[in-house]
């Protein structure tokens, strides 16, 4: 079926993905949103069976045929499709048969983006609540710490016994350590100083620091997209955020002696179009990732890794990722993580340019 160019233009302007099938479930046509969702060319897919685009659970395609025979509309919720690229997506789709034309129209709404946005909003809200609680608790802790330290200093001036002076010294040192820990929990104490910067220069600075700390123990790989424009951010804060993530990767690799492929950390950058962070839609974002081939994050703590004091390392403080997420949030960005055995990737999304209206 040849679609009138005017109607095709209308279909291509729709956000909803539209796929039109013939009675034998071969592809007649699709709009631009469907091409983007399925990762195919409508022109190249024309005349091919629908399972060349995606596969679904048993019986799904039979239901399409039956709908045409019975002239019955139906909607399926949260269907899992495996695309030709082996990517799995979750969709709602509505089936509208047209027996007189021998066609079936699929209207497809991708859900992964909505699920991700909902998950991000819940995480951001939880982390903000956690940060507010920690700020309140930290200030309550710092006040008596100051009194304890001051009392120990005064007491040390009155004591002549060396052994007793050693005790007051321990009190002062441990009080300072706790105060430093509280300061780290509170996050950066200076306001952000935003300016235009090259994100690759920031990543190269982080890579140089990691190289010095790792020596020959770890290979550092780069996969950069040089077309990424400058973004607006605080250089020092971004370095701190990336460094916290990269150091976690380094520590995971160095502490794992069972990696036969060689220890690797990869810095990767890409541009991503039409991406939503929270409730704000951006036409363009920078997608930056730091990945390693270490043992992976323990499943029992994976969902909570961005909360303070959560760590899989006995000597860890559990503050690095919490601070990193906080710093990236201040740049209107967000950090996601994927982890399995021999692969952990932290993906940082940072806006480029203005938001969509």
CATH classification at residue 70: 3.30.450.20
For residue 5, what pLDDT is reported? 65
160: phi then psi, degrees, rounded to nearest 5: -110, -20
106 shares its domain with 124 = no
Residues 285, 155 share a domain: no
Asked which of 78, 110, 142 is the last residue of a domain, the reply is: 110
Higher pLDDT, 51 or 160: 51
Q: What is the SS3 string spanning 33-101?
A: HHHHHHCCCHHHHCCCEHHHCEECCCCHHHHHHHHHHHCCCEEEEEEEEEECCCCEEEEEEEEEEECCC
Backbone φ and ψ of 11, nearest 5°: -60, -40
Last residue of a domain, one of 110, 125, 160: 110
340 shares its domain with 270: yes
Q: What is the mean pLDDT of residues 81-86?
A: 87
> Is the predicted pLDDT of residue 350 greater than 90, yes or no?
yes
Q: How confident is the model at residue 93 (pLDDT cuts 50, 70, 90)?
A: very high
Q: Indicate whether 199 and 347 sit together in one domain.
A: yes
If asked whether residues 92 and 134 sit together in one domain, one would say no
Instruction: List, for residues 241-271, the tens digit of each pLDDT value.
Output: 999 999 999 998 988 766 657 899 999 999 9
Residue with tokens 């390392």: 313
What span, in angstroms and rounded, lies between the C-alpha atoms of 36 and 245?
32
Contact between 114 and 141 under an 8 Å Cβ cutoff? The reply is: no
When comparing pLDDT for 225 and 306, which is higher? 225
With tokens 């039109």, the residue in question is 20
* Domain enclosing residue 171, as ranges: 115-186
Count of alpha carbons within 13 Å of 46, Cβ hemisphere only? 10
Please state, as a whole number, how many other Cβ atoms lie within 10 Å of the Cβ of residue 245: 26
Does residue 265 lie within any of the structural domains? yes
Same domain, 241 and 125: no
Based on the fold, state whether residues 100 and 163 are members of the same structural domain: no
Task: Residue 205: give its domain's CATH number.
Answer: 3.30.565.10
In terms of domains, do 152 and 119 share one? yes
Q: Does 356 map to a domain? A: no
Domain count, the chain: 3
Cβ(338)–Cβ(264) below 8 Å: no
pLDDT of 138 higher than 80 = no
3-44: pLDDT as tens digits: 566 667 777 788 889 999 999 999 998 998 899 889 888 888
Q: What mean pLDDT do residues 287-299 have?
A: 92
Does residue 357 lie within any of the structural domains? no
Strand runs labelled E in 198-263:
219-223, 231-233
Residue 83 lies in a domain: yes
Domain shared by 319 and 244, yes or no: yes
Is 317 in the same domain as 220?
yes
Asked whether the whole model's pTM tops 0.85, one would answer no
Q: Which of 137, 154, 186 is the last residue of a domain?
A: 186
Q: Verify that 254 and 335 share a domain, yes or no.
A: yes
């Amino acid at each position: 079926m040849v679609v009138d160019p005017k109607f095709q233009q209308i279909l291509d302007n729709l956000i909803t993905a539209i796929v039109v099938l013939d009675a034998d479930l071969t592809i007649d046509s699709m709009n631009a949103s469907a091409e983007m969702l399925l990762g195919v060319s409508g022109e190249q897919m024309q005349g091919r069976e629908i399972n060349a685009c995606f596969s679904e659970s048993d019986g799904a395609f039979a239901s399409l045929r039956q709908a045409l025979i019975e002239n019955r509309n139906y909607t399926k919720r949260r269907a899992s499709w495996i695309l030709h690229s082996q990517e799995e997506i979750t969709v709602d789709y509505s089936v509208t048969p047209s027996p007189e034309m021998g066609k079936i129209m699929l209207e497809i709404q991708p859900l992964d983006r909505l699920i991700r946005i909902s998950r991000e909003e819940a995480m951001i809200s939880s982390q903000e609540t956690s940060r507010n609680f920690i700020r309140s608790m930290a200030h309550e802790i710092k006040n008596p710490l100051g009194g304890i330290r001051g009392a120990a200093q005064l007491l040390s001036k009155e004591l002549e016994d060396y052994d007793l002076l050693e005790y007051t010294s321990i009190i002062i040192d441990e009080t300072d350590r706790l105060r430093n820990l509280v300061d780290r929990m509170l996050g950066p104490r200076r306001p952000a100083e935003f300016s235009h910067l090259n994100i690759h220069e920031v990543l190269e600075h982080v890579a140089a620091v990691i190289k010095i700390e790792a020596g020959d123990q770890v290979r550092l790989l780069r996969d950069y997209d040089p077309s990424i424009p400058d973004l607006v951010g605080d250089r020092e804060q971004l370095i701190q955020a990336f460094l916290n993530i990269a150091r976690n990767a380094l520590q995971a690799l160095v502490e794992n002696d069972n990696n036969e492929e060689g220890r690797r950390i990869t810095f990767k950058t890409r541009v991503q179009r039409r991406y939503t962070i929270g409730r704000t839609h951006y036409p363009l974002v920078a997608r930056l990732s730091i990945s390693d081939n270490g043992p992976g994050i323990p499943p029992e703590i994976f969902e909570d890794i961005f909360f303070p004091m959560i760590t899989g390392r006995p000597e860890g403080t559990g503050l690095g990722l919490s601070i990193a997420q906080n710093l990236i949030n201040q740049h209107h960005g967000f950090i996601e993580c994927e982890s399995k055995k021999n692969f952990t990737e932290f993906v940082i999304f940072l806006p480029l340019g203005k938001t969509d209206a």
